[in-house]
Amino acid sequence: MTKEPVRERPVTYLPMQEQARLDAQALERLFDELGDVAAEDVVCRAMEELALKLAQSERLYREGEAARLRKAVRTMAAIAGQIGMVMLAKVAGDVICCIDQRDDIALAAVLQRLLRAGEASITEIWQLQDMTI
């Protein structure tokens, strides 16, 4: 019995970037309802809160605080939905599902996706605001 040599398989690298998906109509409605100054204030405060929740979520995950992580991510989903961050809200919902199903392996992956989606979404909103100024 002879052993065949192990064939090396090419390594596939997956891009670790998330494409931000924003609902421009949700932002437009917010600006129409509140006016430019108030809406811009709401969006800025929302982005600050999202940045804090993203950092908090990462910390809570490392500390094994699933219940508190779920609460932080649920808040993040609500904020993201309010200002039209569609992808971030969706991925936050996926994190909640992983927590509810006690799927630790999926949670690790989806939480990392949430962090990437959050960063991409915040960057996209800032770029939109820069174009309107």
CB atoms under 10 Å from CB of 13, counted, come to 6
User: Would you say residue 132 has pLDDT above 60?
Assistant: no
What is the pTM (predicted TM-score) of this model?
A: 0.80
The mean pLDDT value for 46-72 works out to 97
Q: Buried b / exposed e across 64-98, counting CB within 10 Å, b at 16+?
A: eebeebbbbbbbbbebbbebbbbbbbebbbbbbeb
- What's the pLDDT at 26? 87
DSSP secondary structure code for residue 83 in this structure: T
* C-alpha to C-alpha distance for 88 and 125, rounded to whole angstroms: 12
Contact 22, 121 (CB under 8 A): yes
* C-alpha to C-alpha distance for 60 and 5, rounded to whole angstroms: 46
Domain ranges of the chain: 24-132
Residue 25 — very low, low, confident or very high, per pLDDT cuts 50/70/90?
confident
